[in-house]
Structure 1
């Protein structure tokens, strides 16, 4: 594999590469294959409103959703769902919250590769005999769908002349708890990853991600969502804000809460949402055992978002959106003496599309500005592109593409931060009744202001995997992934990983 590296900082070349990777992946799958052709689904599906029964019709197609409707288009997940209506991968979500964490990007892709979706493009494939679909456990008016994946993995990570190799065990726990009430709905999803090195050296990267979404179907065409979440991860060594030379990076605890109201006013759609995030950083540990306190990074952030859409048709809704944000650090000044608290505001215009199971999603283009409380820190203003597109070019194939733009604060004295432009795509293909192939890839371009002491860098990642369903309770998984962090100054980092695993599910 040859990898080109732009050390001169050609931004147009990076953006061209991002667009090319998306078009290439989509174009390959668009070519005719022997799978059955797929027709458009004329009934409109809705965001966060899955079929509470999870039932299927006798012809093998997904049963229609008869739950109360919220008319925001639903974008299918590409990230290890338990079904077509599972929540979006946090890296691609469109609820106004941060779309970029500081955990390992390759770790996230490998977890997605390991998980076999219950169905592809909202079609439940017929199974011989008793079937292969994940039935779940009935708990009163709830259905629990748990799964455990145990895998053995190898990793080779190189930065300049430093080469770290390790063999490790990884346990992935996943579960979804969904209510089947006739009105309202509660969905709770949980993911957890535990790693243990068997040989070699390398950073273990545990992860916990729990989310809850209570949908309330209110009178007058109004839908409310009350959300809460918790995430734990270890900051990646390759993150620009990670502590250089640390043997153990900071563990990050993130608590989320939110409330949104959506209402139809005839041909107008209105949405108001409030999201709160509390982030706490633990101490990092240096190679000599010294503990470094990072509590000056602890912060609370809030975002208020308003959107107004105009229904040209049930499948096409242009919209405008405005966002106000405030970030407050626990310490008025960080360890370098800078006031990192900030105000942010932005706006965008875009369009929502919902053509049933064939094509759905949204895309918005706008501008975002972040002003820091310390006058020595320059404001960061940037054009933004955000969205998620789910396309099924043929029966049994899904192509999910996500775009996001976010402003990430810096921990370097005198630097405000950087703008992260991220493109992510996932291609899922049902090769046979019990064999699913996945290909994920993407890039993140970290663009620092011209007056910053840091230089731009780009991360490229790709992963591929196969999941063979032995029966409805057992899957065999295999995967391989590669990540390259290309820096204008300093050594590049290359990471290669492969693994074999076994999933037990119910």
Structure 2
């Protein structure tokens, strides 16, 4: 439960091509590491290390959490909680009969135990060089693994009867820098997307994120994390806080820092942490060339959180969690005359699950509220339902399910904000040893107070893609995505996007 920002790990596929490309990147890595994942289950601490949804993404680009299989939030895929592959154990031959008269005899022959002297080592499938993990680049005691995808895309957007179509080139980058130390670990993850229009008209959507996580392995079953990050993006035109009829929305810079500590006390597990963030908004440009200053949206926020869990078994850990946060705007009174600084409070109970390679994650229920310094702004509260589940029903198939409830304060005059209820799923399936398919889907409901002049909105998003592993270092990718924003009192908006690209891995 984040404070003020929508902490969804999967945003709506407003930038569908980018989201699916990031998901495919993680999907390929999952496929390439499947053999390793079968013998090395992810430790419990990987689930407990994060209370937010994978991946990944805490910005105002949308509300749907990024799937932990690596969507845009691919950034969120390298942060510990969502980077490990999920694969099912080896499947035994089916014992189902066909009704033939020889079935019973054939089953008896096929399932008999061979004498000791007839037993041979089990046959394993030959490894496919095209799906093996790249060796990376050794830099001292670190290993750098860069990935660059170059794609050509087409996009059609229809908002209120105004239709725009563009073709653009997009360069996506994903890198991980991992330490190779005997004790402690430093992980630096970088994600970026740069777009260049080659025809038509439509706003380019640059995006860059870098996150560092230093894990300290302390004595007595104690682990500490020190994190820091930077995120640059352009505000989405469909964002509720975006400037209407702007030719270019505001560029947003977010700085983050945090520290946490976790310790096992026998059957009890406790953790606490503090998170700080700083958001800076640039001017927005209108269609006539004039600019609007958005400096009154610049803000600094902090949150303190704590959790304690009870280990019923290694696979089942109920927990209780609470957080307290505050937000301070640079300008005490915004351009509309409202004081938007305030506080937030939240609590939830839930359970952590770790059933090995088949099912991992957590589910929580709780309550969250946000208050404002200005008495004209009504408090916002909501029942919270959060879930993050990583499920592998079959070998080669990974399902990521994310559910998030969050409070999103508004900067519109007279508006307190809205409550976002987001559900997102991502399914990655290995069609062949060198061909992986990904399907994404999500729905977000933005619930405004009954006395709000803004009507409720529902955002539907879906996407799909294929990745062909040409060899160990080169993939061919294809993506398609669609998003629909449905509004009760105003016109709907929709977007189509499709693209093909080449991904170079090292």
> TM-score of the superposition, structure 1-length normalised?
0.80
Q: In 1, distance between residues paired with 2:227 and 2:36?
A: 33
**1:426-445 matches, cutoff 5 A:** 426-445=426-445
2:64–2:423 CA contact under 8 A, matched in 1: no
1:64 Cα deviation from its structure 2 partner: 3.4
Provide the residue aligned with 1:6 in structure 2: none
Q: Secondary structure at the match of 1:392?
A: strand
2:429–2:437 CA contact under 8 A, matched in 1: yes
Q: Secondary structure at the match of 1:73?
A: helix
1:114–1:478 CA contact under 8 A, matched in 2: no
Q: Secondary structure at the match of 1:243?
A: coil
Q: In 2, distance between residues paired with 1:106 and 1:155?
A: 20
Q: Which residue of the other structure, out of 80, 86, 89, is the alignment partner of 1:121?
A: 86
- Output the aligned Cα RMSD: 2.7
Provide the residue aligned with 1:112 in structure 2: 71
Provide the residue aligned with 1:479 in structure 2: 479
Q: How many residue pairs are counted as aligned between the two chains?
A: 431
Provide the residue aligned with 1:320 in structure 2: 320
1:180 Cα deviation from its structure 2 partner: 1.6
Q: In 1, distance between residues paired with 2:62 and 2:323?
A: 28
Provide the residue aligned with 2:40 in structure 1: 64
Q: In 2, distance between residues paired with 1:250 and 1:182?
A: 44
Q: In 1, distance between residues paired with 2:473 and 2:216?
A: 33
1:489 Cα deviation from its structure 2 partner: 1.1
1:406 Cα deviation from its structure 2 partner: 1.2
Q: 1:129 to 1:417 in 2, by over 3 A?
A: closer
Provide the residue aligned with 1:30 in structure 2: none
Provide the residue aligned with 1:29 in structure 2: none
Provide the residue aligned with 2:10 in structure 1: none
Q: In 2, distance between residues paired with 1:349 and 1:129?
A: 45
1:75–1:360 CA contact under 8 A, matched in 2: no
Q: In 2, distance between residues paired with 1:204 and 1:56?
A: 34
Q: In 1, distance between residues paired with 2:71 and 2:37?
A: 24
1:432 Cα deviation from its structure 2 partner: 1.1
**1:139-154 matches, cutoff 5 A:** 139-154=139-154
Asked which structure has the greater CA Rg, the reply is 2
Q: In 1, distance between residues paired with 2:45 and 2:464?
A: 34
Q: Secondary structure at the match of 1:350?
A: strand
Q: 1:292 to 1:473 in 2, by over 3 A?
A: same
Provide the residue aligned with 1:341 in structure 2: 341
Q: In 1, distance between residues paired with 2:72 and 2:206?
A: 17
Provide the residue aligned with 2:414 in structure 1: 414
| 1:89 is aligned to 2:55 | yes
2:377–2:416 CA contact under 8 A, matched in 1: yes
2:41–2:356 CA contact under 8 A, matched in 1: no
Provide the residue aligned with 2:113 in structure 1: none
Q: 1:60 to 1:177 in 2, by over 3 A?
A: closer
| 1:102 is aligned to 2:60 | yes
Provide the residue aligned with 2:372 in structure 1: 372
1:88 Cα deviation from its structure 2 partner: 2.8
Q: Deviations over 1:150-179 (max 9, x none)?
A: 000000110122100000000001100111
Provide the residue aligned with 2:193 in structure 1: 193
Q: In 2, distance between residues paired with 1:56 and 1:385?
A: 32
1:138 Cα deviation from its structure 2 partner: 1.5
1:132 Cα deviation from its structure 2 partner: 3.2
Q: Secondary structure at the match of 2:394?
A: coil
Q: In 1, distance between residues paired with 2:272 and 2:84?
A: 32
1:106–1:482 CA contact under 8 A, matched in 2: no
Provide the residue aligned with 1:223 in structure 2: 223
Q: In 2, distance between residues paired with 1:231 and 1:114?
A: 12
Q: In 2, distance between residues paired with 1:207 and 1:111?
A: 15
1:350 Cα deviation from its structure 2 partner: 0.3
2:304–2:324 CA contact under 8 A, matched in 1: yes
Q: In 2, distance between residues paired with 1:469 and 1:119?
A: 20
1:487 Cα deviation from its structure 2 partner: 0.5
2:390–2:400 CA contact under 8 A, matched in 1: yes
1:60 Cα deviation from its structure 2 partner: 6.1
| Structure 1 residue ranges without an equivalent (≥5) | 1-54, 77-86, 92-99
Q: In 1, distance between residues paired with 2:240 and 2:456?
A: 10
1:145 Cα deviation from its structure 2 partner: 0.7
1:114–1:477 CA contact under 8 A, matched in 2: no
Deviates more, 1:470-479 or 1:129-138: 129-138
Q: In 1, distance between residues paired with 2:492 and 2:161?
A: 10
Q: In 2, distance between residues paired with 1:167 and 1:352?
A: 45
Q: 1:113 to 1:185 in 2, by over 3 A?
A: closer
Deviates more, 1:323-332 or 1:104-113: 104-113
Q: Deviations over 1:71-130 (max 9, x none)?
A: 463699xxxxxxxxxx93124xxxxxxxx5222679978983898x99852589953358
> TM-score of the superposition, structure 2-length normalised?
0.80
Provide the residue aligned with 1:20 in structure 2: none
| Structure 2 residue ranges without an equivalent (≥5) | 1-31, 78-82, 90-124
**1:41-56 matches, cutoff 5 A:** none
Q: In 1, distance between residues paired with 2:307 and 2:87?
A: 28
Q: Deviations over 1:439-475 (max 9, x none)?
A: 1110111100112111100101000000001011100
